Amino acid sequence: MSYEPDGQYQPPRRPEGQYPQQPPYGQQQGRQQGQPRYAPQGQPQQGRPQPPYGQPPQGRPPQGQQPYGQPGYGQQPQQGRPPYGQQQGGYDQPTQQQPRYEQPPYQQDYQQQPYDQYDRSEPPYGDEPPRRKSKAKRWIIAGVSVLALAGIAAGAMSYFEIPPFTDKGQAVSFGQTPGGDKGGEAAKPAANSKMSMPTGPKTEFKNASTLSDGTQIGVATVTGKKSGFTGKVWVWAPKEYNDPKFAKSGFPVMIALPGGAGYPTNYWMGTDLGLQSSISKWYSEGKGKPFILAMPVLNPGPDDKGIYWDGSDIPDQPKMGTWLTDDVPDLMRENFRTIKSRDGWAYMGSSTGGFASLKAVLKYPEKFKAAICSGPDIVPDSSLWKGHEKEKAENNPELLAKQLIDKKGPDVYLAFQVGDNESNKKTLPDVQKFVATYTKGPIHTSLRVIPGGQHNAKTYVPNMGQGPMEFISKAMEGPVE
């Protein structure tokens, strides 16, 4: 911005030619009619003339003080800058007390830049009126909102298992080869084959969960032919099971037993603990076998009264020992390609499930080769054993281990893991004592003490990959043909 001698603001212009010469300050005369406003075209322009009595003050003067006798800032209401090209008061008009247009940003711009660099499409002063949102932007916002609502609705329907947003409850086909062979209908393997084709009859499993890799956890209610007990069993096969590369291969089986009530569900069937995804991960890392999982209920009912069945056949009680060591393995042979020998059969469990796993391998070493026992009990302690001391001794891991050593086999592999912050402070000393006493002859053990580990499955699953899984997998086979 510049200051004219008459105190009026003159918008800067750059017409062809130059600005007219101005009379000395205070002696300006009105322009005569016909007198050109600007110098003739072609004369060099030397810049806009300035008052002869020194340069105008730079920046805004103090409030109430205006150079050259004009009203101070704020003494006249601001009327806004006149439109470009309409001069208020020109050279030939009487001097008026005009408001000074107080726009510091424009003042800086006009002083520092040539006029023709300004974007004339924008208002030269004042606030720009708000623009309406484009239709495209409004459509984008509306589309995103609709998609978000649709996602929320689909998630809710999936959570509450409302078709078609979930595949829960749909049939899951296990024990079927990629070529379409089912159960015992498949061609028999060679006589010297280590694998066993599904024998049937085929069990109707329903989808309980689908993992991120597309594998499914199926569930069925099964009545054991030998125990007579009816309970649920959840099953899962790794993605390799349906890989054409392994179409003629038998897979190892791991029977996973929970702690606590173990009824009416088996908590290993939940995807939150990550047991299934961990097995796939360990196999890809070369630390484990691609186990098929069987996850049965552990007890015939809730233990709200502190009653445990110890995974055993307690007289006058449901035969939970037979259920776990006969009926569940038979179910897996009927529906899956498995391994004939004990080299493909193992247990794992925590707490009471750890006790049942330990006891099953020591009691039936000809059928099962290995177990991972996390925070296990070492001796049976159910109140239901009262009056049945003989049967209780037959299900005591310490006595079973001694008998196996005396018989000199067959070899078994027991991987223990216990947290050093278990709720039951006796658990770690009891396990250490067992390992020290019975690790000899056919009994091979490993013990992982988990720093800060507590008595829960969330502690045990990640640590299984830190030694226990690798320990038993080295002793097992699969997949085999």
Rounded distance between C-alpha atoms, residue 420 and residue 449, angstroms: 6
E strand intervals along 224-303:
230-236, 253-257, 292-296
Residue 119 pLDDT class (50, 70, 90 cuts): very low
Other Cβ atoms less than 10 A from the Cβ of 152: the count is 10
- Estimate to the nearest angstrom the gap between the alpha carbon of 153 and the chain centroid: 20
For 417-433, give the DSSP string: EEETT-SSTTHHHHHHH
Cα 380 from Cα 356, distance rounded (Å): 9
Q: Is the preceding omega at residue 201 within 30 degrees of 0, hence cis? A: yes
Closest CA to 109 of 128, 88, 89, 125: 125
List beta partners, residue 253. Answer: 292, 345
Structure tokens at 221: 């209610």
- Beta-carbon neighbour count of residue 208 at 10 Å? 22
Mean pLDDT across the stretch 58-83? Answer: 46
Structure tokens at 312: 């055993």
The per-residue pLDDT for 129 is 53
Instruction: Give residue-wise pLDDT tens across range 33-52.
Output: 444 444 444 444 444 444 44
User: Regarding predicted confidence, which is higher, 37 or 478?
Assistant: 478
Place of tokens 């640590």: 463
Going by pLDDT thresholds of 50, 70 and 90, the confidence category of residue 97 is very low
How far out from the chain centre does Cα 238 lie? 21
Range name among 172-176, 336-340, 467-471 with the lowest pLDDT average: 172-176
**What is the reported pLDDT for 308?**
86
pLDDT in tens, 182-193: 444 445 777 789
User: E-assigned strands of 380-468?
Assistant: 412-419, 443-450
Please give the pLDDT value at position 175.
53
Instruction: Tell how far CA 236 is from the center of its chain.
Output: 22
Q: How far apart are the first and last CA of the chain?
A: 93
Cα distance between residue 104 and residue 123, in whole Å = 15
Global pTM reads 0.67
Q: Which amino acid is at 130?
A: P
